[in-house]
Amino acid sequence: MTDVDLRTSILRHLTYSLGSDADHATQHDWRIALSLAVRDRLIENWHAASRATRAVGAKRVYYLSMEFLIGRLLEDAIVNLRLEDEAQQALTGLGLDPVAVIQDEPDAALGNGGLGRLAACFMESLSTLGVPAFGYGIRYEHGLFRQSFEEGRQIETAEDWLTQYHAWEFERRDVRFKMCFGGEVVEEGGKPVWHGQEAVMAQAYDTPVIGWRGRWANTLRLWSAQPLHGFDLDRFNRGEYAAAAEPEALARTISRVLYPDDTTEQGKELRLKQEYFFTAASLRDILRRFEAEGGALTDLPKRAAIQLNDTHPAIAGPELVRLLHDEREMPLDQAIATARGCLSYTNHTLMPEALERWSEDLMTSLLPRHMQLIERIDAAHAAEQPSRSVSLTGDGEVRMGELAFVMAHKVNGVSALHTDLMKKTVFAELHRLHPDRIVNETNGVTPRRWLLSANPRLSGLITRTIGEGWVDDLEQLERLEPSLTDPAFLDAYAAAKRANKADLADWLAAEHGVQVDPDAMFDVQIKRIHEYKRQHLNILEAIALWRDIKANPQGNWVPRVKIFAGKAAPGYFFAKEIIRLINDVAAVINSDPETNRYLKVIFLPNYNVSLAERLIPASDLSEQISTAGKEASGTGNMKFALNGAPTIGTLDGANVEIRDRVGARNFFLFGMTADEVEARRAVPEHAAQAIAADPRLSGALMEISRGTFSRRDRHRYRGVVANLSGADYFLVCSDFTAYWDAQRRADAAFADADAWRRMAACNTARSGWFSSDRTIRGYMADIWDVVAVRSGLDEAMQPPGSSLG
Ligand SMILES: *Cc1c(COP(=O)(O)O)cnc(C)c1O
C-alpha cells in the first residue's frame, strides 16, 4: 500500500474503501480517504515495532489511564510521518482546502483536562523514543460533553465523536475478555473462589500511536463494554422488543460516558465499575501476552512496567494479586511482591476531597473478593510496620490513594513542589515508612504537537536558526540563546507571533463575531474552570481595570484582550457561576464605547485540544494563577512558555520550575507561596481585610453586587460575592493586590515592544526541558527500568515515504 503516491492512494480509498467518487465526495469522505491513505503509511512500522519487541523479549510499559485526551489524529500522523508537503500538494491538486479537510476531524475528547492530555503526550513520546508500550483505557462512546452558552450559562450536550467513521482504530475481535461484578466468594477445595453475578465483555479497539519520523508506533488499546450474549431472539419473537435489547443496553452503559469531573470523587457505582472494567481487562491482556511469550510468573516485573495514572486504576493492586494468587496459585506474599514489582502510581492531587475513596459496602457488593484481598494486603503491610499507623480502610471506606501507594514500588508526583508537598502532607506517614518510594517526574508536553505542528511559523524560524534537531531533543532550543540579542531573529520571532495573532483575530471575527486588535496584548487563561485555578481572580482584575479606564479614558492604557476558555463539571455549581459571570462581564465591557478600545473579554465555548492548538501560538500572556499548593503541575503553562507567552503566575506546580529556567525577569510572579497560603487561612477575616485594604478590589466586588453585569437580576451573584468576601478558601481577595500589580508590570513590559519580544523568545529558548520526552526518560530510569528498542532496527524498518524513491 505504500507503493503509490498519496494522491493516488487517496483516490483509491475514496473509490474502493468508501465507495464514493470524486464528483460526489463530501469533505468528510475526503478526510476519511486521506486518513486511510496516511494510515497505510504507518501500519508496517507499527507491526515492525511489535515484532522487534518480541524478538528481543523487551520489557514493555503499560500505561493505565481512565483518560486519553488525544485530540485530532490525522494532522499528528501527517506531521510525524513528515507528509505535510505531500499531503498539501495532493489535496490542493484535488481542488481541496487542506486546512478545512484536516479540521473536519472531530476531537477525540476522551479526557477532562491535564491528566488525560498528559497520557496522550506520554504515548506520543514513548513512540518517539522507541519504547515498547501500550496505553490502556476506555473507548467512551461519548467523550467529554460539548459546551455551549445560553445567556452566558454553560449548556452541556453529548459529544458524539464516534457517530462518524473513525479511521484510526481497529476492532480486535480476537481480543475480548469476560469481566464480572458482584456475586459472592465461596470456598471450593479449600480455596476462595469468586462467582460473579453480572458479566460483560471487554472488547479491544486498537489505535496506532506514531512517533516522530514514523520510526516506531505503539498501541493505544481502548476497551468497549459489550453484552456477553447477543440478542435475545426468544424475547424478540414474543414481541418483547425493548426487553430483548436490554442486556445490550445495560452492558454498553459501562463505556458510555466519561465522567466529566477529574477532581472530585463521583460516588457512583458506575464509576467504580468503569475503573474495574478497564483495569481488569488490561491486566488480563498483559498476563495473556506474558504467558504466550513464556517465562516464570515471578519474572513478570522484568517484563511489565504498569503505570497507574492517578488512583482510577488502583484496583489493579488487588486484581493482579487475585490473578496471581487465586487463579495461578502463587503464594499470597509472593503475589503481593510480584504485583508491587510491576506497579507504580502517579499522584495528581493533594486535595483531600479529590483523593478517591470507596465505601466498603460498595466495594464488597461489587468486588467481594477484592475487598477481602484489600484486607489481606492491609494486614500484610501492617505486619511489616512496627507502628501500624497506616490503614487502607477506615470510616467504612477504602482509601484508594493509600492502596495505590502500598501496592506500588514507586509513587511519583508531577512537579518538584507537588512531590515535596506530597511527602509532607497526604502521604507523610507512608513516606516515613517507605522513604525511597516517592520520586518526582515533572510533567512535560510533546513538542511535535505543541510546537512543531501547532505553530508552524515559529517552528520554521527555529529550524532555520538551529536546524531540526530540536524536534526530538527539545533542550537544543538553548542554541537559540545567542539569537536572543540578534535584532533580525527577534524581528522574525515577533513577526511570527504577530501573524499568529492576526490569524486568531480573523477567526474570532469569522466564528464568534468579535473584533479584536491584533496589536493588543492577548492575555489567555484556558483550562478547566475550578475555584483553585482562580478564573474569578482574573475577571475581578478585568472589572477593576475597566473601572480604572472609565475613570481616566485619556490614560495611557495598554490594550488587552482577555481570552478565557474551559469547561466546568456539570455538577460544580460555583464553577458554572464563574463562567456565567465572565460572560456577563464580557457583554457589558465589550459594548462600552468608552473602554472597548482598551479592553475586551472573550469566553470561547467548548475548550478542547484543537482550540488550545489555535490559541496558544497566538498568546502573549499565560495566566497560571492558582492558589499556591493546589495545582499539582500544570502542563498548559509549559505549552505557553514554549510558544513564547511569558507567564503571570504564582509559585505553584511546575510554574516554579518554569520560572527557574526562563529566569525571574521573564516571568510575572505574584502572590503568596504555599506556606504563606496556610498561614493566611488562619487569619480571621482575611478576605474582609484584603477588601478593606484595596479600593480597586472593593470597587470591583461592589460593581458585581449592585448588578452592573446582571441588570435584570441584580442579586444573581450574591453567592459569589458572599463566598469571596467570606470564607474565600482559595484566597482570591488576599492575592488580588499582588495580582493587580503584576498585571501592571506586564503592561509596562508589553509597552516596550523590544523588551517584550526578547522576553517571549527567552521563554521559548529556555523551555526545552519541558518536553514529555524528558519526562518519559525520567520514568524509564527511575521507575520502569526499561530501555528503548528502536536502536539498530531503524535500518530494518521502512522509513516512511521511502518507497517514493
Ligand atoms: C494542556 C491542556 C490542559 C491542561 O491545562 P492546565 O492549564 O495545565 O490545567 C487541559 N485541557 C486541554 C485541552 C489541554 O490541551
350 C-alpha vs ligand 1 centroid, how far in Å? 18
10 Å CB burial of residue 799 (0-12, 13-18, 19+) is: middle
Name the residue with the closest Cα to ligand 1, atom 3: 114
Ligand 1 atom 1 nearest Cα: 636
Residue 630 — pLDDT band, cuts 50, 70, 90? very high
Q: Is the pLDDT of residue 790 over 90?
A: no
Q: Which atom of ligand 1 is nearest to the CA of 639?
A: 1
Task: Name the pLDDT band for 228 (thresholds 50, 70, 90).
Answer: confident
Strands (E), 425-579: 438-440, 521-526, 560-565
Ligand 1: does its nearest atom lie under 6 Å from the Cβ of 766?
no
- Give the model's pLDDT for residue 664: 98
Active site residues: 348, 527-528, 533, 635, 639
CA of 262 to the centre of ligand 1 (A): 12
Residues 6 or more apart whose CB falls under 8 angstroms from that of 95 comprise none
- For the segment 424-454, what is each residue's pLDDT rounded down to a tens digit? 999 999 999 999 999 999 999 999 999 999 9
Burial tier of 767 (Cβ tally within 10 Å: 0-12, 13-18, 19+): buried
Question: Which pLDDT belongs to residue 163?
Answer: 76
Distance CA 677, CA 659 (A): 20
Tell me: pLDDT of 237 over 90.
no
Pairing verdict, β 410-413 and 343-346: parallel
pLDDT, mean of residues 497-525: 97
For residue 248, which amino acid is it?
E
With contact defined as beta carbons under 8 Å apart, do 373 and 392 qualify?
Answer: no
Pocket of ligand 1 contains residue 114 by CB under 6 Å:
yes
Query: Residue 556 gets which letter from DSSP?
Result: -
Substitution site in 118, 442, 609, 619 for ligand 1 pocket (most atoms within 8 Å of beta carbon): 609
CB 273 within 8 A of CB 312: no
For ligand 1, say whether the CB of 449 is within 6 Å of any of its atoms. no
Give the C-alpha separation, 430 to 443, whole Å.
23
What separation in Å is there between the alpha carbon of 653 and the centre of ligand 1?
Answer: 14
Let me know if 574 is exposed, middle or buried by CB neighbors in 10 A (0-12, 13-18, 19+). Answer: middle
Which atom of ligand 1 lies closest to the CA of 634? Answer: 8
The residues pairing with 522 across neighbouring beta strands, listed in sequence order, are: 561
- pLDDT tens digits, 329-339: 999 999 999 99
Measured CA to CA, the distance from residue 586 to residue 542 in angstroms comes to 9
Q: What is the DSSP letter of 802?
A: G
Q: DSSP strand E in 644-802: where?
A: 647-649, 668-669
Classify residue 331 as exposed, middle or buried by CB count within 10 Å of its CB (0-12, 13-18, 19+): exposed
pLDDT score for 307: 98
What's the 644 CA to ligand 1 centre distance in angstroms? Answer: 17
**CA neighbor of 30 nearest in space, from 90, 106, 84:** 90
Question: By alpha-carbon position, which residue is closest to atom 14 of ligand 1?
Answer: 609
Of 261, 524, 526, the residue with max ligand 1 atoms within 8 A of its CB, to mutate for a pocket test, comes to: 526
Contacts 24+ apart (CB under 8 A), 303-306: 303/57, 303/59, 303/60, 304/59, 304/60, 304/62, 304/342, 305/59, 305/60, 305/61, 305/62, 305/342, 305/344, 305/783, 305/784, 305/785, 305/786, 306/62, 306/64, 306/342, 306/343, 306/344
Torsional class of 189: left (φ above 0), alpha (ψ -120 to 50), beta (otherwise): left
| pLDDT for the residue 177 | 97
Ligand 1: does its nearest atom lie under 6 Å from the Cβ of 649? no
CA angle at residue 127 from 798 to 288, to 5 degrees? 100
Ligand 1 mean position, distance from CA 527 (Å): 5
Residue 623 CA, ligand 1 centroid: distance in Å: 12
DSSP string, 395-408: TTEEEHHHHHHHT-
Quote the ligand 1 centre to 533 CA distance (angstroms).
12
Give the ligand 1 atom nearest the CA of 653.
8
Q: Cell 477445595 belongs to which residue?
A: 189
Q: Are 754 and 106 in contact (CB under 8 A)?
A: no
pLDDT score of 190 more than 90: no
Name the more confident of 309 and 2: 309
The CA distance from 136 to 429, in Å, is 31
Which strands make up the sheet holding 393-394, listed edge to edge?
357-359, 397-399, 393-394
Residue type, 590: N
Residue 67 phi, psi (nearest 5): -140, 140
Separation of first and last alpha carbons in the chain = 15
Q: How confident is the model at residue 791 (pLDDT cuts 50, 70, 90)?
A: very low
Residue 635 in contact with ligand 1 by CB distance below 6 A = yes
Q: Is 646 in the pocket of ligand 1 (CB under 6 A)?
A: no
Q: Percent of the chain having pLDDT more than 70?
A: 97
Q: Say yes or no to pLDDT of 795 above 60.
A: no
Residue 723 banded pLDDT, cuts 50, 70, 90: very high
Distances (CA, A) of 253 to 72, 196, 257, 274: 25, 18, 8, 9
Counting every residue, how long is the chain?
A: 805
Amino acid at 119: A
Q: Identify the CA nearest to 370 among candidates 297, 433, 412, 313.
A: 313
Confidence of residue 252 (pLDDT cuts 50, 70, 90): confident
**CA distances in angstroms from 687 to 270, 464, 681, 735, listed in the order given:** 40, 52, 9, 10
Alpha-carbon gap, residue 604 to 465, rounded angstroms: 35
Within a 10 A sphere around the Cβ of 82, how many other Cβ atoms?
Answer: 15
More confident residue, 287 or 354: 287
158 in Cβ contact with 145 (< 8 Å): yes
Q: Quick one: CA dihedral 691, 694, 733, 575, positive or negative? A: positive
What are the φ and ψ backbone dihedral angles of 501, each rounded to 5 degrees?
Answer: -70, -40
Taking each helix axis as running N to C, give the angle between helix 573-590 and helix 718-725, from 0 to 180 degrees, rounded to the nearest 10: 110
Q: Is the CB of 117 under 6 A from ligand 1?
A: yes
Residue nearest atom 6 of ligand 1, based on CA coordinates: 636
How much is the CA Rg of the chain, to the nearest whole Å? 27
Is the Cβ atom of 336 under 6 angstroms away from ligand 1?
Answer: no
Share of the chain above pLDDT 90, in %: 89
612 lines ligand 1 (CB under 6 A): yes
Nearest Cα to Cα of residue 307 among 355, 272, 342: 342
Contact 701, 721 (CB under 8 A): yes
Q: How far is the CA of 746 from the centre of ligand 1 (A)?
A: 23
> Above 50 in pLDDT, residue 800?
no
pLDDT at 499: 98
Average pLDDT over residues 103-112: 92
Backbone φ and ψ for 529, nearest 5 degrees, come out as -85, 120
Beta bridge partners of residue 445, listed in sequence order: 771
Q: Where is 21: in which H helix or E strand? A: none
Q: What pLDDT does residue 246 have? A: 78
Q: Residue 2 above 80 pLDDT?
A: no
Cα 363 to chain centroid distance, Å, stands at 28
Residue 116, ligand 1, Cβ within 6 A: no
202 Cβ contact partners less than 8 Å away, ≥ 6 residues apart: 176, 177, 178, 179, 223, 224, 225, 226, 277, 278, 280, 281, 284
Per-residue pLDDT at 266 = 64
Are the C-beta atoms of residues 800 and 82 closer than 8 Å to each other? yes
pLDDT tens-place string over residues 296-319: 999 999 999 999 999 999 999 999
pLDDT at 353: 78
At 768, which amino acid appears?
Answer: G
Please give the number of the atom of ligand 1 that sits closest to the Cα of 608: 13
DSSP state string for 27-46: HHHHHHHHHHHHHHHHHHHH
Nearest residue to 137 (alpha-carbon basis) of 169, 160, 104 = 169
pLDDT of 4 over the 80 cut: no
The yes-or-no verdict on residue 801 having pLDDT over 70 is no
Give the span between the Cα atoms of 748 and 756, in whole angstroms.
9
pLDDT recorded at residue 262: 62
What are the structural domains of the chain?
1-58+83-106 (no CATH), 60-71+108-146+162-441+775-788 (3.40.50.2000), 520-770 (3.40.50.2000)
- CA pair distance 64, 70, nearest whole angstrom: 15
Of the given ranges (177-186, 344-353, 755-764), which has the lowest mean pLDDT? 344-353
**527 CB near ligand 1 (under 6 Å):** yes
pLDDT, mean over the chain: 94
Could you tell me the three cell numbers for 699? 470597587
Q: Whose CA is nearest to atom 9 of ligand 1?
A: 527
The number of the ligand 1 atom at minimal distance from the alpha carbon of 612 is 15
Does 364 have pLDDT greater than 70?
Answer: yes
Residue 803's pLDDT is what?
Answer: 37
Provide the pLDDT confidence category of residue 632 given band limits of 50, 70 and 90: very high
**Contact criterion met (CB below 8 Å) for 346 and 67:** no
Cα separation, 349 vs 353, whole angstroms: 9
Report CA(676)–ligand 1 centroid distance (Å).
Answer: 27
Query: Taking a C-beta distance cutoff of 8 angstroms, is the pair 112, 528 a contact?
Result: yes
Hey, whose CA ends up nearest to atom 10 of ligand 1? 113
* pLDDT at res. 269: 87
Atom 7 of ligand 1, residue of closest alpha carbon: 636
Q: In whole angstroms, give the CA distance from residue 684 to residue 347.
A: 32
752 vs 748: CA distance, rounded Å: 7
What atom in ligand 1 is closest to the CA of residue 633? Answer: 8
Task: Please tell me the predicted confidence (pLDDT) of residue 783.
Answer: 98
Q: Please tell me which residue, 799 or 595, carries the higher pLDDT value.
A: 595
- Of 110, 524, 528, the one to substitute when testing ligand 1's pocket (max ligand atoms within 8 A of C-beta) is 528
From 69, 529, 611, 622, give the residue whose CB has the most ligand 1 atoms within 8 Å, as the site to mutate: 69
Taking residues 184-193, what's their average pLDDT?
92
User: What's the 140 CA to ligand 1 centre distance in angstroms?
Assistant: 20
Q: How many whole angstroms from 613 Cα to the centroid of ligand 1? A: 11
Pairing label, strands 191-195, 184-188: antiparallel
Q: Which three cell numbers stand for residue 402?
A: 493509600
